[in-house]
Every structure is written in C-alpha cells, then in structure tokens.
Amino acid sequence: MSEKYKETDRMGDIICDDYRILQVISRFGLTLGFGDHTVSKTCLAAGVDAPTFLAVVNFIRSNGRTSNLSDIVESLSLTALMNYLRRSHDYFVKFRLPAIRRKLIEAIDCSARNQIAFLILKFYDEFASEVGRHMDYEDKHIHTYVSDLMKGVKTSPDVNIHKLSHQHHDNHAQLEKSLSELKSIIIKYYPTDSNAQLLNDVLIDLFMTEEDLFSHCHLEDTLFLEAVVRLEDERQEQAREENPQTEEQDGEDSANDALSDREKEVIVCVVKGMSNKEIAEQLYISVNTVMTHRRNISRKLQIHSPAGLTIYAIVNGLINLEDVKL
C-alpha cells in the first residue's frame, strides 16, 4: 500500500493493511460488505465525506504524526468529523468499556473475601465513569458550541474553543494515566489463578483501548481543534464584513478593534519572545495558522517587527511591561 491511503484505494485493502481502520469505518456509519469498491465509491454510497474519512484513517495510520495539519484541515468537513467523534464517544461509553467490565468480572474473583479483586473492579468503574463524564462534557459543551458556530448562531464573545478546551485538555492526560495505573495494578498485584487466560485477554483489551483512546484524544487536540479555530476566524471575518466598525478618530484604537481575539493572543505570545512553534503549542493551533495570523496582524497594524508589536501591545493594554521579554 502507499504511504498514505487515497480515494482510489480499495476499502478492503486498507482494512487488511491496518486492522485499526475497522474502528474508523463503524464510527463513520460504514458497514462491511463493500466488495472491491474504492474508498471514494464506498463513502459516496454511504453519504460519508471521503476526504474527512481519509484524514482520520491517515492520521491513525501515522500515529498522529503530520507536518501539514493546515492542509488536511482545509479539505475536511467539520460536520463529518464531529459526527465521527460523537459515534466514538458512544462506542467507548456504551460498548467498549461495558464489554471489558463484563469480561473483567468473569476473570477475577469478586467475592467478599478477595479485596484485591474488589478494588480492581472499583478502580475500573471509576475510570469508566471518568471517561463518561469527559465525553459527556464534550458532547454537551464543546460540540454544542461548534454546532452553533456552524449554524451561524451568535455566541458570547468571551467563549471560544480554546477556552472551552484548555482545562478539558488536561483530562486527556488524566484518562491515559488512570488506564495505565489500572493495567499496572492487574499485572503486578493480582495473583494468577484458573482464569489467567481470560485475565490476559482483559489486559489485551485494556492495552488496545489505551491505544484507541490516545489516538481519539490526540485527534481532538489537533485536527478537530484546528478546524474549529479556523471556523472561528471565518465567523469573525464575516461579522466584521456584515457589521463594519465606524471609523474612529484614533487610528490605533481602530486597528485594535479590527484584531480578532486570536490575533491578540498571538501578539502577546510574540511579545513574550515565543517562537512560532511555541505559539502553536500554547494556543493548540498549527504553525501554519500562527504564520497566517502574523501576516494578518502585520497587514492590519502595518507593524512588521517584534519591537513594534511590543510597543503596540503595551500601549493598548494587551500585556504588562513586566511580562515583556526585552
């Protein structure tokens, strides 16, 4: 197979090439039985956006390593991507985790005498609840916000995907930590008994779930986040075109009003001496997007040097003097 899957590749071939694609097709609403049809034809028949499907499968195949995130986001459908993420949530919460729990109960001695088994099951239930709360927050808050954004519904200027995701991003690491601890406890402290083979099978499921969950969270933190940031910028541009600001007497104040919230954040990062890569990591966007924002800032303000931006940021109250890297 090629380095990256293409629309002309046969669906059956890419599944045989990487079994993890089986997880993807069900979450896009695709079913087996597509014969020798290509990716393009299979997606078309099911009403699935082929570029978005390929963006996800290539992301998974490369283990999330991509150097052209901005180009990938340009080609995908945010609606299709969000539907994929929602189905992924249902898969984890309603199918994968309950199935592992049933197998775990069968594999360990859950009698009152076996305190270790009882604590392992309790630890697992806490982890599963944590996953459920995490994904429920995404469905109710992040996805609702993005749906409103796509419909053109006006949202509070104080709300954006960066603020909604900032603390939530830390939960991804916590989920991975909890699952890693659970595996370690079973491996190190649960004694071998007659159900050792079944318990090994549970551990294999946990390792596969860990890999799947990590890939899911990483996709949310990169592809999905970048796509939403781009949509936010488009909506801000549309709002400025539909409701142009009246010309202010003070030219600098007018230029400040023309900046988007994201552009102001980029200015602050530049003034602090951060590189484009560091800004991208700080704001959860791609380096290409950072460069685009910097070009727009220069065009709007007619300021082309970090020193000039520093003076602008201080005068307009974007940053305190003590925070400036001189």
Categorise residue 72: left if φ over 0, alpha if ψ from -120 to 50, beta otherwise: alpha
Indicate the pTM of the whole model.
0.73
Can you tell me the distance from the alpha carbon of 257 to that of 251, in angstroms, rounded to the nearest whole number?
Answer: 10
Question: What's the pLDDT score for residue 247?
Answer: 39
Residue-wise pLDDT for 27-62, tens only, equals 999 999 999 999 999 999 999 999 999 999 999 998
pLDDT at 254: 44
All residue ranges of the chain with pLDDT < 50 are 245-256
In the block, tokens 């993890």 appear at 20
Q: How far apart are CA 99 and CA 251, in angstroms?
A: 63
